[in-house]
Amino acid sequence: MFRAAAIVTLVLAVPAAAQQADRRSRDEPEVVVEAGGRVGTCDALVFDKAGKFLFAAGDDKVVRVWPVTAKGLDTDPAQGRVLRWRAWREQRGGIKAIAVSPDGNLVAVGGLGMRPSTVAVIDRETGDLVGLTWPKSRPGVDNFNAVTAVAFAPDGKRVGFGTADGSLWVWEPTLLKEHEPDAPPSPRPLWAGRHDPRKLLNDTLTELNIPRAVRFTDAATLESVAQSGEVRAADLAGPLSETADGKATTRQLFVVNDGQRQPVYRAAWSADGKWLAAATEGMPEVLIVSADGAQKHRRQLPAARLPRSLAWDAKTSRLAVGVAEVLPAAEGKPRFYLEGRDDIHLYDPPPNGDAKPAILPYTGPAEALAFHPDGRLAIAGGDADEVTFTPIGGPAVTVRGAGRRNWAVNLSADGKVLGVQTARTPRPTDPNARGSGDWTKFDLDRLAPTRADTNWVGVLTGADGWRVEPDTVDSFLWHAVLSRPGMPDVKHPLTLDWNRDQASRCYTFLPARDGKPTRVIVGHYYGASLFELRPEGAVRARLYTGHAGEVLSVVAAADGSWFVTGGADHTVAAWSLTDWGSRNNLGAVVAVREGVPAVTAVDTGSPAWEAGLRVGDRLDFLAVGGRPLYERRVGRKEAGIADDAMKALASPVSGTELFLGLQQPGQPRRETLTTVRQRPVWKWFAGYHDSGRLTEWVAWSWHGSYYHTASAHGDRLVGWHVNAPTPGVRPEFYPLQQFEKQFHRPDVIEKLLGARDLAGALKLALGENPVPRSFTQVEPAPVRIGVTETEAGPQGVTAGVVVRRRGSNVDLVPERVELWLNDHRYKSWPAGGKDVFDETVTVPLAALRAGENRLAVVTYNALGGRSEDSRVVRNPRPAPPTDLVAVSVGINDYSGNRKAAGGARALGDLIFADKDARGIADAFRRYEGGCFKQARIDLRLDADATRAKLLAAIDKAAATAKPDDLMVVFFAGHGDLLGADAKAGGGSERARGVVTGAGRFMLCGPDYARAAAEKTGLAAEELFAALAKVNCRQVVLLDACHSGEAAAANLVRRCVPDGHGPFVVCSCDQGQLSYEHPRVGGGVFTAALLDALGPGFRRADADTDGALGGDELVEYVSGRLPVLLRAAGQRDDAQQPITFPRRPPSAAVVSR
């Protein structure tokens, strides 16, 4: 049952390999999705004891934290938190278990860390590590494997946890002042004993007996229920050892499953500790056992239903069970393991509960469940990695990020269009038919979404007489079957490494061609495998790795030279099927020179290149699969011969580790490793509106992380998770956008997506002889902000800002440090190239808003890199009356521009811009005496809206605004983009704006002249700089944006601030016009705004709380625009608003 989720990856890591992984995780961090929601399977979901926060973790290797409100989860990005621990590629860093301390301030995290058996404790508020450790192992003896269960002691001072071998541990988290280089930064955990080995049905003993749940019954007793069903207690009062050869202090209490050998898949104790629920693999039932093992009850599930997740309701003692539907095979077809939709079964408290349970339908897998203390149920999973939070029988509130699972991928026949399906087939019977609904299409040549009709290649489910069938006993095992006339079928297993690749998920065939046999690509966890098929056997020829979760779909290009995969990690990856020039999977040629194995050729972008092999390297050590094959290190006994090393490297096995010692003449010796994995040529991520419409995208190179996007937020939704140089310091996340100057390379991405020329792209980026570049060469200096108290006192709040220089590269030295208070740039300092910048600032109480305030510190260096940190502080005073300060601008008359143009292309007059500005001013003024004590609105029309007058109006507002006030800036008029030839779009009654190319976006004043743009227009960054002086909440509404004929103009990206600033709503997305029309009485966007602020208020107020939040305003406007566009004679998707931040804040714009 659910073997892919149940089996913990087995990593037999040696210390040297662990050191290499630690180093490379900083040199070569992987780009990951961080789009405001969960990504991949959720293994742990829990509320804190007080019910203030919900925590979720799993394949995305972070803990996501949402504050809980009466309405549900607070999804405002400013309120949530992402807690990070050390992680890298594939399974390294996957989280299997979390626990929250009794006071809710600390989070314990366990899983398969950078080192096996790592456990960490993280401060919920700051994200800083309180402690991180792993067990002390005896080389060649101990393999404790992943941490699978974790719990806090009643006093919150100790953590108990279980490792997959069955061992139980206790640990007191703290950070040591000093520790050995290869030792953890915290004290080692103490071993208390282990569960008895688990027996299989054939009576053989297994290496693993995974603890499914642990708990403290008192300060000195740790209980655990294991995969075998054994419940064991550990006595922690006596002396314990750091190593597993000490005296065990555990004893068996009872066995949950009456000695049955169906392994326990999930286990959970009730909140009062009286009952234990256990779900067994492959059995349609849940076992409920009393804490002493004396009473046992079974909850039978319907046929073809299996338990997936468990949770107890502390309020009512009800048990919730997530129940999966295992689908039958289609008529006449083999039965692959496929699932339909889950249900949630709610059972009355034991010993009752024999009656039929209440059943809540659910869409997709219910991967994890958790009850809030008040009885509301949270469910993690679904078709798009969402979290649903609802009172039983009440309206559900669903939270998801911008990304979606790619249930199906496709390519056009000419390879120029990529297609994805993000909706899941409810009841699939074919592993290649998981997707449904319309195809989202992306033109790989134009680098833009497309609606063009497409001739799809599709999945090839057979070739040359070969097909794929599941095993009749184990449906997770697939076979390649060859049928030939007059001959018996030939069947060969498509064998994967279960511990690393887990189960097969999808496949497509490649017919025999160009001397290659028939091949099949099988998608699995983290990537895909390429099998060569011959009558005598099926051999895995290549291993492709580059996803952060399971691969759900795969399709090959028509010419058979490349393929794409769609992942549960919300990304699409493209891979090459062509051979390296060296004609082996390693991508290097090794020959014997002067009796020594030497590297004579390295293919750019190959596994050898990735591992750092260079022409001229000489080997003094080689281990294959952990076994030394060649030894010539100084001071070591010689072993092996050069020819053995040469042969091993000429035909390495994909997935088998090669550990190499290398040295160039006259240079320091170095060590490296590779598992001969082929990496993606490129990756692609798309962000979606809740309606399913693609709104954001970004493509990047797996090697080098060069990227391109023409969407407003694409490079803010993915970035690098970078481990700190020392394990006791929290990792950082850097969105790609923070390194736009270094990594935004449209030319590189065009070469990758168009020609898939990896070597050419890397040479374009890195020079004629490219070598992998370490991220540490561009990583900014770390910055931290700390506060004396999280609640402001009479004097306000005191914050300390510290920036520590990292390395000697002058380009990475911070040039400027800024302290932001909410939307306001509170203070700025020149950093002055100091090794340590250390400042203390007191923010007076009068400068803080009532309630929560975010203090953020930002540093900038010469390369354009940026580093950030933030803290939330609370001002306990009641909210005072709010004033509105507003500047509403409308410019119809651009005759001044035509005079200044002097025969060049000029801006045409508009018809409704001034009317729209008046309408916005009137709409907000109607709230005076209600949600606004006063409404001070500065209306600026035509000649009264010059650059100087606009800046003066904003400065005036800055002088009068108070922290709890609201400032609104509205602009209706033309826009221009400097740095490119202008193309007129104005003059008609239908379109506003002028923009093409790339450069600075200008709001055009009535006398705008391109030759004197700095004096006659207002640059977007100037607007945001002016607003940064205003210490209050800010809303900017721009009915002037479009990006003309070229999406590459990237206009909307220039209409949002650089990381911090106001809430901005632009009237349209890139590549669109902002329309006005007599039938709607003005600008279409403004008409929708006016409707929301006026007659449509009650409809716009989706949660009926009497306040129109920024999120509700944008959602209503987005919904109204199609209706208004049709009235204006346009397509209903011709104009779509774009915002900053991407997820609008929930704070009220107006209220009644």
- Pick the range with the lowest mean pLDDT from 166-175, 205-214, 254-263, 425-434: 254-263
- Other Cβ atoms less than 10 A from the Cβ of 12: the count is 13
The amino acid sitting at 80 is: G
Q: What's the whole-number mean pLDDT along residues 857-884? A: 90
Alpha helices by DSSP H, listed for 626-716, are 642-650
CB-CB contact of 194 with 251 (8 Å): no
Of 3.40.630, 2.130.10, 3.30.70, 2.40.50, the CATH number of 1-255 is: 2.130.10
Quote the pLDDT of residue 908: 87
Q: Name the residue with higher pLDDT: 1104 or 120.
A: 120
Per-residue pLDDT tens for 17-65? 454 555 567 888 999 999 999 999 999 999 999 999 999 999 999 999 9
* Sign of the alpha-carbon dihedral angle for 142, 143, 145, 148: negative
Residue 867 pLDDT: 87
CB 1095 within 8 A of CB 1086: no
Please list the residues that pair with 470 across neighbouring strands: 478
Neighbours of 51 (CB within 10 A): 15
Does the pLDDT value for residue 415 go beyond 50? yes
Instruction: Provide the 8-state DSSP code for 928.
Output: B
**What's the mean pLDDT in 206-228?**
96
- Confidence class for position 982, pLDDT limits 50, 70, 90: very low
Per-residue pLDDT averaged across 569-595, rounded? Answer: 96
The Cα–Cα gap between 719 and 22 comes to 19
Range 829-849 average pLDDT: 90
Q: How many CB atoms lie within 10 A of CB 805?
A: 18
> What span, in angstroms and rounded, lies between the C-alpha atoms of 359 and 345?
5
C-alpha pair distances (Å), 648 with each of 114, 447, 613, 985, 1115: 28, 42, 15, 65, 60
If you average pLDDT over residues 135-147, what whole number do you get? 86
Does position 988 have pLDDT exceeding 50, yes or no? no
Task: For residue 1019, give the amino acid letter.
Answer: A
| Short-list 1095, 1147, 1072, CA closest to 448 | 1072
Whose structure tokens read 């002086």?
1029
Query: In which band, very low, low, confident or very high, does the pLDDT at 996 lie, cut at 50, 70 and 90?
Result: very low
Number of CB atoms found within 10 A of residue 1059's CB: 18
Per DSSP, 205 falls in state: B
Question: For the purposes of burial, counting CB atoms within 10 Å of the CB of 156, is it exposed (0-12), middle (13-18) or buried (19 or more)?
Answer: middle
pLDDT at 452 over 60: yes
Preceding amide of 211 cis, omega within 30:
no
What per-residue confidence (pLDDT) applies to 216? 98
Q: Is the pLDDT of residue 887 over 50?
A: yes
pLDDT at 999 over 90: no
Task: Tell me what pLDDT residue 1135 has.
Answer: 87
The SS3 of residue 799 is strand
Give all strands (DSSP E) within 594-657, no chain letters.
596-602, 618-624, 627-631
- Two tokens, residue 684: 């692609």
- pLDDT of 902 strictly over 90: no
Q: What is the mean pLDDT of residues 435-448?
A: 95
* Type of residue at 1108: L
Per-residue model confidence (pLDDT) at position 984? 34
> Residue 986: is its pLDDT beyond 60?
no
CA distance 969 to 1037: 6
**Is the pLDDT reported for residue 204 higher than 90?**
no
pLDDT (average), residues 1053-1064 = 65
Alpha-carbon distance of 198 to 207, in angstroms, equals 8
> Which DSSP state fits 1010?
G
Strand partners, 360: 344
* Higher pLDDT among residues 995 and 747, named by residue: 747
**Most confident option among 78-87, 570-579, 1046-1055:** 570-579
Residues 6+ apart with CB under 8 A from 134: 113, 115, 116, 117, 118, 119, 184, 188, 189
Count the helices and strands in the chain (H runs, E runs).
16, 76
- Examine residue 139 and say whether the peptide bond preceding it is cis (omega within 30 degrees of 0): no
Lowest mean pLDDT among 274-278, 389-393, 1066-1070: 389-393
Statement: 588-674 belongs to CATH 2.30.42.10: yes
Dihedral of alpha carbons 1137, 1138, 1139, 1144, sign: positive
Give the pLDDT confidence of 919-934 residue by residue, as tens digits.
999 999 999 999 999 9
pLDDT at position 333 is 85
Q: Domain residues of the chain, as ranges?
A: 1-255, 263-335+356-382, 408-576, 588-674, 682-777, 783-875, 884-1151
Could you tell me the CA-to-CA distances from 1018 to 1, 628, 946, 1039 in Å, in that order?
A: 62, 67, 9, 15
Alpha carbons 570 and 383: distance in angstroms, whole number: 11
> Who contacts 557 (Cβ-Cβ below 8 Å, separation ≥6)?
411, 415, 457, 563, 564
At 91 the three-state DSSP class reads coil
Residue 507, C-beta contacts closer than 8 angstroms, at least 6 positions apart: 431, 432, 459, 461, 468, 478, 520, 521, 522, 523, 554
The two tokens of residue 162 are 């279980």
Q: Which of 1120, 1044, 1040, 1116 is nearest to 1075 (CA)?
A: 1040
Whole-angstrom distance, CA of residue 255 vs CA of residue 674: 43
pLDDT tier at 259 (50, 70, 90 boundaries)? low
Q: Which of 5-9, 740-744, 883-887, 1137-1141 has the lowest mean pLDDT?
A: 5-9
Are the CB atoms for 943 and 891 separated by under 8 Å?
no
Residue 717: is its pLDDT beyond 70?
Answer: yes
Specify whether domain 783-875 bears CATH 3.90.1750.10: no
How far is 526 from 1063, CA to CA, in rounded Å? Answer: 37
The answer to whether residues 285 and 299 touch, using CB atoms and an 8 Å cutoff, is yes
Q: What φ, ψ does residue 326 adopt, rounded to 5°?
A: -90, 120
List the single range of 131-140, 972-981, 1135-1144 with lowest mean pLDDT.
Answer: 972-981
Q: Output 834 or 317, whichever has higher pLDDT.
A: 317
Q: Dihedrals φ, ψ of 647, to 5°?
A: -65, -40
Nearest to 171 by CA among 196, 153, 155, 146: 153
Q: How many CA atoms lie within 13 A of 288 on its CB side?
A: 24
Length of the chain: 1152
Residue 844 has pLDDT above 70, yes or no: yes
What's residue 353's pLDDT? Answer: 64
DSSP 8-state code for residue 1049: G
Q: 1146 and 1109 in contact (C-beta within 8 Å)?
A: yes
User: Does the structure show a pLDDT above 90 at 212?
Assistant: yes
- Is 1044:985 a contact under the CB 8 Å cutoff? yes
The yes-or-no verdict on residue 1052 having pLDDT over 60 is: no
Mean pLDDT, the chain, whole residue set: 90
- CATH domain 884-1151 topology: Rossmann fold (3.40.50)
Question: In which element (H, E) is residue 798 found?
Answer: strand 797-804
